[in-house]
Chains A and B, each alone.
Chain A
Amino acid sequence: MQSETAVSQGARSVVESLRARFGAAVLEETWQAPDQVTLTVALDALPEVVAAAYYDCGGWLATVVGNDERGLHGHFALYYVLSMEQGQAPYPWLTIRALVPGHRPQFPSVTPRVPAAVWYERELRDLFGLEPVGLPDTRRLVLPDDWPEDLHPLRKDAMDYRYRPEPVGEAENYPFVGPEGEGIGEVPLGPLHIAQEEPGHFRLYVDGEEIVDADYRLFYSHRGIEKLAENRMDYDQVTFLAERICGICGYTHSVAYAHAVERAAGIEAPPRAEAIRTILLEVERLHSHLLNVGVAAHLVGFDTGFMHLFRVREKAMQMAEILTGGRKTYGMNLIGGVRRDILKDQKDAVLRLLRELETEVTELVEILVDTPNFYARTRGVGRLDPQIARDYSPVGPNLRGSGYPRDTRMGHPYGAYNRVPWQVISETGCDVLARTLVRCREIHESIGIIRACLEEMPPGPILAEGFSFKPYAVGLGWTEAPRGENVHWVMLGPDRKVYRWRPRASTYNNWPPLRYMFRGNTVADAPLIVASIDPCYSCTERVTVVDVRKRRVQVVPYKELQRYCREQKHSPLRD
């Protein structure tokens, strides 16, 4: 294939330029696929090599994986996975691997050079006890504040997956970081967020009504599914567990996981299975985008539009029910393909629903953007600066609203995305408006993709069978979820298990830059900004306000903040 040659040439030229600069520091070069290369580098050179790949060779940080490989060769391994986006898509993947000796669990932090690595390195410290030397942020990320000091759950010898340690303390002691000084107030938002009922604790630093900075504490619902998958489940069972990472875009995780295992084991799912997966991924995007646009309408006070968008969204739920038997969790994947075929009746029913949905969405989106309030509330709000975006590798409509036409479906085609016509949508406004418009336009691309796939389904089987698994082979899987790129990294293990599975959800890359998007906006816009990254969680239950100037703490109920966001009258912060 021509594109395959081009993509491996791209990878080769990146490898050559890194070798030319770092020569002896590059210890090993291995190829997992024509578009995937892994360079093992000396631990000391890790930050320089990652920074060079990131900023000088068009790299975007896809994921960072820690792995306890002491049982295999006495070391922990670090994998920094980058998507190398220079020239024309499709792009190659570059993994920079470094080994950390088991007796000296430290590594030089990459974050001072590449800010995008900050969460990943905090996570490595929590879950593996690997100390990122030079990482400015010494707080926990994943583990709760009352977790024992020296217990790192993902070390193979740390604990049984069912073990739940006693809390070591009662106090909530997470130190939020923000500016201090005359006139700066604090607004804690949370522990539940404003649009979807999931926990996250925000601290907004305000000067009067204006947000000057923000910090947040998440991972309240970290359940240790990686540990569970490694210990208790077999390959096929994890596809169902992966689907439960997200209640909105779970199927994207299931597909990314299945692709990762399939690539590691050298299995190719039949073309018909990939077409079915693609259709379902887009059905999922339809309902997710309609949900988010609906929530945006709700937050700007346009509730009739919200109700109607949700009414139309029901058609996408029906499509899923017809095709998979479930409205939300599709349960369609096994390693090697899918479990249900699409029959003629189902295809016709879905095409009919698709036509109805298309007409209605076009009409509703026109009505929404014609609402006078809509532009006023969204334009210029929650600006994601292109340079901040470049530094933090955010993904999805969040990034595409800031002028980067980056979409994994195009950058690293999978499924049937390179067999049907569609285009990457991007906007240049960098604000809430741009992100919402990207989603509105993407709904139409999804409709086109589903229609094209349904009308030209490749014939043949839907499940590859009779393959063998290769213990300790490594594979990468990715999907463009409605909220951005998901990346799953898998190392196969013995006994039909995964040795290590590292799912990275899209929102993981979108949280760190959110802080910059808050700055300069008003408190009333905060719910709108958070909802505009379409986070995999929402609905702030209540809001506490700390005004440093007045030395005062105030709790604002969630409904009050939401009311303020919608009406913009009678600030709850006033006396």
Chain B
Amino acid sequence: MLRLLRKVVQTGQVTLPYPFAPVEVAPDFRGKPVYDFSRCLGCGACARACPPQAITVEWSAQRGVVTWSIHYGRCIFCGRCEEVCPTGAIGLSQDFELAATRAEDLVVRAELQMARCPGCGEPFAPARELEYVRASLEAARGAASPVLAARLQLCPRCRRREAAARSGPAGRRQGGGSR
């Protein structure tokens, strides 16, 4: 009993006055993921990796936009989005105080323009993603020839058509004749 009393006195007060004073977290604490719209390509790698589907990417061909969104109420702070993002557009912060009075306040949404195919006029990929691919190719292999550069702007279907047309009747026969 005496030992216990001594222990109690020695220890003193250990509770913190939080929330009236801030609490420090570890340097590598996994808190709220912060989104940087200026770097986002709309590629959707984060949405594919996100285990709880807190991040979603929806394409609307009609409006020609990609809608990226994160729901902090679903987030498990694992940081997979940060790990797979090619441009560092999302990263975990040390912020853990996410309480909100309205559910909508837990959602961040962004819309990105899609590029339209010069062949058929259909939107087919986020414009920034396309530009990112072009720049990466250029960085790796030097500037593309005008033919290749033009081909990059085509949607996959028009590109197939263009490739088939270029290889002539022989190419079309070997290709198996989808139409």
Contacts and interface: CB of A to CB of B under 8 A. Distances in A.
Give the size category of A's interface with B.
Answer: 20 to 34
B11 A339 contact: no
Contacts of A331: 30, 76-79
A256 B93 CA distance: 29
B3 A367 contact: yes
26 contacts: A236-B80, A240-B51, A240-B52, A240-B76, A240-B78, A304-B4, A304-B8, A311-B11, A311-B14, A318-B26, A322-B28, A324-B30, A325-B28, A325-B79, A326-B29, A326-B77, A329-B76, A329-B77, A329-B78, A331-B78, A331-B79, A339-B79, A339-B83, A363-B3, A366-B3, A367-B4
A351 interface: no
A223 interface: no
A325 B26 contact: yes
A419 interface: no
Contacts of A318: 26
Interface in A233-273: 233, 236-237, 240-241, 244
A438 to B, nearest CB: 23
Interface in B1-30: 3-4, 7-8, 11, 14, 25-26, 28-30
Contacts of B8: 304, 308
Interface in B56-96: 76-80, 83, 92
Secondary structure of the A contact surface, majority rule: helix
Secondary structure of the B contact surface, majority rule: loop
Interface of A: 232-233, 236-237, 240-241, 244, 304-305, 308, 311, 318, 321-322, 324-326, 329, 331, 339-340, 363-364, 366-367, 370
A325 B83 CA distance: 14
A237 B84 CA distance: 13
Contacts of B3: 363, 366-367, 370
Give the size category of B's interface with A.
Answer: 20 to 34
Given A331-B78, A339-B83, A326 B51 contact: no
Nearest to A340: B28
A304 B4 CA distance: 8
A240 B76 CA distance: 9
B7 to A, nearest CB: 7
B49 to A, nearest CB: 8
Contacts of A322: 26, 28
B14 A326 contact: no
A367 B4 CA distance: 7
A378 B157 CA distance: 74
